[in-house]
Amino acid sequence: MTFDRSRLERPAVEVAPLLLGAVVRHGDVAVRLTEVEAYHGALDPGSHAFRGRTNRNAVMFGPAGHLYTYFTYGMHTCANVVCGTEGEASGVLLRAGRVIEGIEHARARRHTTRDDDDLARGPARLTVALGITLAHGGCDLAAGPVTLELPAESSAYRSGPRTGVAGPGGDGDAFPWRFWVDGDPTVSPYRAAAPRRKRTA
């Protein structure tokens, strides 16, 4: 496995399947990715960059091969691989994976987890297992401290709507941009977005 930035300089929907089987490494812990989601800036209402560039999402605008981190629900850090052409925001959310090195360190961080398949099953659990925080935002994934190693060949995968993302009408994700390794027990359970309630007069 190697880091090849040119493979990330493509649209998010093309990069996302390439990341299945990739290894994210931080310190003594390494996770092989089994589930990801693509987000494509101005074309995607589910993207943090849909309404334009801000201080919070500036990393998403490139260059490719950097880490975009954000805080969600007031308690969790999630991590994305920035991809695409510089100046056009896009990224791939790291949703789940299998801990392949440093499992004792991952268990210590996720000390309430009894099943090793569950250590990095979900985007917040994955970052906790790896020890990734908001402070790692902007990190060059070729130089570290968080690094990415791409597989030589793509894994077989399935795709479908993204988890918990509402479409333009508020009823469900319009884009089948979630990609996962079929049958892998570390893949997180799918959860559709809750329909928006219509306002009454």
199 assigned to some structural domain: no
188 assigned to some structural domain: no
187 assigned to some structural domain: no
Closest of 78, 70, 62, 54 to residue 10, by C-alpha: 62
| Count of structural domains within the chain | 1
30 and 163 Cβ atoms separated by less than 8 Å: no
30 assigned to some structural domain: yes
Taking only the tens of pLDDT, the chain with its 201 residues reads 789 999 999 999 999 999 999 999 999 999 999 999 998 877 776 666 666 677 788 898 889 999 999 988 667 899 999 999 988 889 999 999 999 999 999 999 998 888 999 999 999 999 999 999 999 999 999 999 999 999 988 778 999 998 878 765 556 677 899 999 999 999 998 887 765 555 544
Identify the CATH number of the domain in which residue 101 sits.
3.10.300.10
What domain range is 72 assigned to? Answer: 5-180
pLDDT number for residue 196:
55
Q: How far apart are CA 54 and CA 57, in angstroms?
A: 5
What single letter denotes the amino acid at residue 21?
G
114 assigned to some structural domain: yes
Summarised one tens digit per residue, pLDDT across range 135-192 is 999 999 999 999 999 998 877 899 999 887 876 555 667 789 999 999 999 999 888 7
151 and 181 Cβ atoms separated by less than 8 Å: no
107 assigned to some structural domain: yes
